[in-house]
A and B are shown apart, each in its own frame.
Chain A
Amino acid sequence: MKRRDLFFAVIALIVAWALAALVLDKAILPTPWAVGAALVKELGRDLPLHFLFSLWRVGASTLLAVALAAPAGLAMGQLKRLDRLFMPVVYLLYPIPKIVFVPIILLMLGFGDLSKIAIIFLILFFQILVLVRDQATALRPELVQSVRSLGAGRRALFRFVYLPASLPAILTALRQSVGTAVAVLYVTELFATKWGLGYYIWYKGSTQANYAAMYAGVAAMSVLGLGLYFTVDWLERRLCRWKYVE
């Protein structure tokens, strides 16, 4: 995605929004400038803190998911016996919308941050697991053998073969799940917390009926998602330069 294109997309969205707000003329859809003013005001209050809470939850669950799913995917892609054992289980669990586990996870892990992180983690985990596993299956045995013949043991194989081979899959999985992760983040922040953008949006909208501030929260959430997306993009261009040569 080019920066210029993104800029024009933002402009077009704001124009459409302004038109809709003017035509509708209801409190529930304030104009972009009203929201802009609210955003500036809210940034001086506790919106940044809500943002940081959300960022922490998404960030922690992402790191946890990568740390657990990537090695598991690698192992399954490379060890046929392990794959035969666990892949049916993964295929059974993978298509289930993980959001249905929310009540169970709340019951098991309580109402704190842990359960919120666990729910997002579950979604990312399966996505990364499946993609990394497929990538590792496609890894040619000749490549592994030739690097072994150069004297590589397990550790060196991991560092020079498996890790770089699975990076693109990890980043693709992350890019694909950023949207879902942020959506689920919103849901998890609806209950049992007073911090996070999800709570903020719900509270401003439903309790205070401060719609301009509510939309400021929505904008912050979109910035969060976009920021994650750009981070993944940046990492991919830095770490997977070989994917971008002609």
Chain B
Amino acid sequence: MLSLASVTFAYPHTPPVFEGFSWRAASGESWAVLGPSGCGKTTLLYLLAGLRTPSAGRVLVHGQTLTRPRPQTGLILQDYGLLPWATVRQNAALGLRLRRFYGPDGKHAPRQPAEVPTAGVDAWLERLGIASFADKFPAQLSGGQRQRTAIARTLALQPDLLLMDEPFSSLDAPTRENLQALTHDLCAENNLTLVVVTHTIEEAAVLGKQILLLGQAPNRSPRVIPNPGAGSPGFRERAEYAEICRELRSQMGNV
């Protein structure tokens, strides 16, 4: 479903982050991208989201070259992704509102100002357990509730691909584990392909059934570590989990 074909990408005046980098992910897979800061994790996510274009090579989604953000891709960032001046409900409805804003042809605004479709949004707020906060502003929420709002906003658009950048790293442990489990559930329920970028080994081990390791730039070839147990109940308590964490730690040391 997703692939990078010999992608090269560099920011101005710096050595390339990726050089002839190829990688592919199949539909419905859960990927974690792990690496130290500055290795290009977020760049990879922005490339997959269509917010950056490679200087050479191609990013393909469903066999189509990506040139700009596609509507079926959901992107969730660590923080700051919510509009501080909009309530939880307005934030969650933003994606749908933007669709209406541009009208059916994706360019021209509809003649009549479209009603914000709140029914579907409210169902997602309900599913994510934040319906009672619908009229609060982001500043009035906890970190976990904010991330739930961001997830609701993305899922309301019925995406097939979910991209997350360090989504839970600023949260306390119980909230984080809760949301990691929720992410697995939601991906299974909605048949989503998941790519999560993280710098924590534990998060990669919990979220990624496949783990892509990135090292210091430039990255030339992917190193993939399979982690099929991720997402199964009680995974965190099993020896398998400790084993994969050990493996990732030693691999990251060799980068």
Any B CB within 8 A of the CB of A246: yes
A150 and B79 in contact (CB under 8 A), knowing A159-B101, A165-B85, A245-B139?
A: no
A-side binding surface: helix, strand, loop or mixed? helix
- Is B85 a contact of A240 with CB atoms below 8 Å? yes
* Distance in angstroms between the alpha carbons of A221 and B177 in the assembled complex: 62
Query: B82 contacts which chain A residues (CB < 8 A)?
Result: 143
**A149 at the B interface (CB under 8 A):** yes
**Given known A-B contacts A242-B137, A242-B139, A245-B139, A151 and B99 have beta carbons under 8 A apart:** yes
CA distance A150 to B73 in the complex (A): 8
> Interface residues of A, CB < 8 Å — how many?
25
| Distance (whole angstroms) from the CB of A208 to the closest CB of chain B | 52
For residue A240, which residues in chain B have a CB less than 8 angstroms away from its CB? Answer: 85
Q: Once bound together, how far apart are the Cα atoms of A160 and B81, in whole Å?
A: 13
Q: Which of B77, B84, B136 contacts A146 (CB 8 A)?
A: B77
**CB-CB < 8 A to B83: which residues of A?**
143, 147, 160-161, 164
Determine if B51 is an interface residue (Cβ-Cβ < 8 Å): yes
Instruction: Name A residues whose Cβ lies closer than 8 Å to a Cβ of B.
Output: 140, 142-143, 145-153, 155-156, 159-161, 164-165, 167, 240-242, 245-246
- Contact sample, A vs B, 23 pairs, CB 8 Å cutoff: A140-B80, A145-B77, A146-B80, A146-B81, A150-B69, A150-B75, A150-B154, A151-B69, A151-B95, A151-B98, A151-B102, A155-B101, A156-B98, A156-B101, A160-B83, A160-B94, A160-B98, A161-B83, A164-B85, A167-B85, A242-B84, A242-B137, A242-B139
List 8 tightest A-B contacts by C-beta distance, closest first: A149-B75, A146-B81, A142-B80, A140-B80, A150-B95, A242-B137, A164-B85, A242-B85
